[in-house]
A = this chain, B = another copy of it.
Amino acid sequence: MLPVVGAPAPERADAARNRVRVLEAAAALHAEGGVAALTTDAVAARAGVGKGTIYRRFTDKGGLAAALLDERGRRLQERMLTGPPPLGPGAPAADRLAAFVVAYVEHTVGSLDLVLLSETATPGGRLAKPVYPFWRRHVEVLLEEAGAPAPRTRAEALLAALAAEQLHGWTVADGRAVDALASELADVARALAR
């Protein structure tokens, strides 16, 4: 068969089966014992798979955590792309941006331990996550629409402020209320959009 140019490499049947097994095992372990239970040994044993298989499929522990978050993240992405305004299309850029910040904060805080793991398991993990370019592009486009200078830099700066580590500091260490925090951060986004 001719390879389809640009298509993701097709996955062998055994590989696909093992990916599902690993994700199910990881989800179960996480449900039972939190992130502390998510050791690569435990996941491999529970999935009935070798450690090498996990690393081949998910690069590292952070990648596994990111994969666990995938479905939830995709739901948010859909709301951003095709949902009702102000998060979805139709509202002014600054309003969409503010709505994104609130939704992103809630999304992240809702799975804080996994997101934290996915972003801090390896240095630079946050920027290396497959979804990162999606968030960045979305924010960049909105900033550009709003007429802000240096939209790319500002987009990354804004996302850095929404890093799991920072949100963890605010909501857990400092004990701040998520709603109030999200609203202040939405304000930050508006400030950057001008």
Contacts and interface: CB of A to CB of B under 8 A. Distances in A.
Contact of A120 (B120, B187, B188, B191): B120
Interface in A138-194: 149-150, 153-154, 156-158, 160-161, 163, 165-166, 168-170, 173, 181, 184-185, 187-188, 191-192, 194
Interface of A is mostly: helix
A119 B61 CA distance: 19
A17 B149 CA distance: 52
Given A124-B168, A127-B169, A191-B192, A157 B161 contact: yes
Interface residues of A, number: 30
A123 interface: yes
Closest 5 CB pairs of A and B: A157-B161, A120-B123, A150-B184, A160-B161, A153-B184
